[in-house]
Structure 1
Amino acid sequence: MPIRPEHRFFYPIDWAQLSAVIRFGRARGCCEGCGRPHGQMVYHLGDGRWWDADANRWRDGWGRRIRIAPGTEILSRVRRTRVVLAAAHRNHDTSNNADANLAAFCQRCHMIHDRPEHQRRRWRTLFRRKALGDLFGGPYT
């Protein structure tokens, strides 16, 4: 994921190299959450289940092999997505760049990992807007 210009100073100057080591050195180009391969088109059902072309198997959202019952209509629900790995901070602290605090996640796993943080930030933004509306403009509408 691209870093916003206003947040760039939170990251070390060698972030691109550190991220590459995590994504391609330690994780070997696969998501550490679900195992999806970087840079490839992956067929998925939208609920986390995806087709692993290397193993010719369906996998769930955590990379475990699953079986889909014969006769299940899935072809109408199949979508394609290009997988892009990103280095993520496990504790959301951008100043902690220890190896154990960094993970290589695909888009889906990264969004799932960041969901509580995004909800917290959303609540804080709405709370701040409401407080500013009450302070300067009377009741917030």
Structure 2
Amino acid sequence: MPIRPEHRFFYPIDWAQLSAVIRFGRAKGCCEGCGRPHGRMVDHLGDGRWWDAEAGRWRDGSDRRIRIAAEADILGHVRQTRVVLAAAHRDHDTWNNADANLAASCQRCHMIHDRPEHKRRRWRTLFRRKALGDLFSGPYS
């Protein structure tokens, strides 16, 4: 995932190389959460289930093989997404770049991992806006 210019200061100078080592060296180009391969178009159902073309099987969001009943009408629900791996900080601390703290994640796994942090930031932003509104416009009705 691209780093915003205002957050660039929080990452080390060699972040691109460090990220590449994690994504392609250790993880061998696959998401460490669900196993999706980097750079490929993947058929998925939107709930974490995806078609592993190399194995010829459906997999769930935890990289386990699953069976989908033949009578299930899934063709109308299948979507395609290009998988892009990113190096994610497990503890959300951009200064902690230890191997154990970094994970190669696809977009879906990265967003699921960051969901609590995004919720916290969203609450903080809303709280700030309300505080500024109270400061300049008086209390909300």
Q: TM-score range by the shorter chain?
A: over 0.9
Within 5 A, what are the aligned runs for 1:41-56? 41-56=41-56
Tell me the residue number matched to 2:112: 112
Amino acid at match of 1:23: R
Q: Unaligned stretches of 5+ in structure 2?
A: none
Q: CA deviation at 1:69?
A: 1.1
Per-residue CA shift, 1:59-83, capped at 9, x if unaligned?
Answer: 0011100000120000000000000
Task: Tell me, yes or no, if structure 1 residue 22 matches structure 2 residue 22.
Answer: yes
Write the mapping of 1:25-104 to structure 2, written as runs, cut at 5 A: 25-104=25-104
TM-score by length of 2: 0.98
Residues of 2 paired with 1:18 and 1:95: CA distance?
Answer: 13
Q: Distance in 2 between matches of 1:63 and 1:140?
A: 48
Aligned-partner SS, 2:127: helix
CA RMSD of aligned residues (A): 0.7
Residue 122 of structure 1 deviates from its aligned partner by 0.1
Deviation at 1:44, TM superposition (A): 0.2
C-alpha separation between the residues in 2 aligned to 1:98 and 1:4? 22
Which residue number corresponds to residue 122 of structure 2? Answer: 122
Instruction: Give every structure 1 segment of 4 or more consecutive aligned residues whose post-TM-superposition deviation is greater than 6 Å.
Output: none
SS at match of 2:38: coil
Give aligned pairs, total.
141
Q: Cα offset for 1:41?
A: 0.4
In 1, distance between residues paired with 2:113 and 2:140? 32
3-state DSSP class of the match of 1:120? Answer: helix
TM-fit CA distance, 1:140: 3.5
Cα distance per residue 1:100-125 (max 9 Å; x no partner): 00000000000000000000000000
**Offset of 1:139 from its aligned partner?**
2.1
> How many angstroms apart in 2 are the aligned matches of 1:140 and 1:42?
47
The range that moved more, 27-36 or 61-70, is 61-70
Q: Residue 117 of structure 2 aligns to a residue in which SS?
A: helix
One-letter amino acid matched to 2:90:
R
| Distance (whole Å) between structure 2 residues aligned to residue 77 and residue 139 of structure 1 | 47
- Mapped pair 1:132 → 2:132: yes
Q: Please tell me the residue identity of whatever aligns with 2:50.
A: W
Identity %: 86
